[in-house]
Amino acid sequence: MKIVVTGSLGHISKPLTKELIEKGHDVTVISSKADKQAEIEALGAKAAIGSLEDVDFLTATFTGADAVYAMIHPANYFDHSLDLHAYFTRLGANYAEALQQANVKHVVNLSTIGGHLAKGNGILANAHEVENILNELPADVSITHMRPTSFFYNLFAHAHSIQNENRIATNLWRGRYYPMGIANRYCISRGRRNCYAGQWPQSTLCMQRRTYRC
């Protein structure tokens, strides 16, 4: 299968690319950084250097693909001039337009925990908006929204307090549970298997507009 992976060589995209190539698939990796091209090609994938802001670039890259693994890279949340909602909806719309123009039939979208909620989930509501945008694609497009919690590697942000205070300190409501995380390997496995949707019978779960919580 011809599969396009977004997210450059991130925590999920790089090992996902490796697994897909090991399975014999033709993989193209999108990155906005030209200095990643050599590393992408060293994995055995094709490098497509460009921006998610460029619909024409996305359409050209997606054309001929059997499946696309799509994600929106976190923005600089410390940039007070950033309109985060506009950022997510703009890139979500770019994905939808390019996927439709390129006639891609199988999409795996990396969403987030709380992506099913329109409100009450803070900035995660932006992922919900992206899900809604992609769900407006034609009915013959198979879409899987993966909603993982935080990943185990996010715990590195707490390394100082763990080492020096033997605790993890974070802001939570009293009495609420905090999902600490999952292994990104699990989402890699889910993403890889869901990219194979076209090889599975029509009645299987991946062929429907369903949501998985990793």
pTM of the model: 0.80
pLDDT of residue 78: 84
- In angstroms, the Cα distances linking 79 to 9, 91, 124, 127, 190 are 24, 18, 17, 19, 33
Contact 96, 34 (CB under 8 A): no
Domains, the chain, ranges and CATH?
2-147+184-212 (3.40.50.720), 151-182 (no CATH)
Contact 150, 179 (CB under 8 A): yes
pLDDT of residue 205: 30
pLDDT of residue 209: 42
pLDDT of residue 175: 64
The angle formed by the CA atoms of residues 82, 110 and 121, to the nearest 5 degrees, is: 55
Amino acid at 184: N
Amino acid at 143: I
pLDDT of residue 48: 98
Contact 72, 130 (CB under 8 A): yes
Q: What is the pLDDT of residues 113-156, one digit of tens each?
A: 888 899 988 888 999 999 999 999 999 999 989 888 777 777 78
pLDDT of residue 174: 64
pLDDT of residue 154: 73
State the Cα–Cα distance between residues 84 and 89, nearest whole angstrom: 9
Q: Spell out, as residue ranges, where the chain has pLDDT lower than 50.
A: 197-214
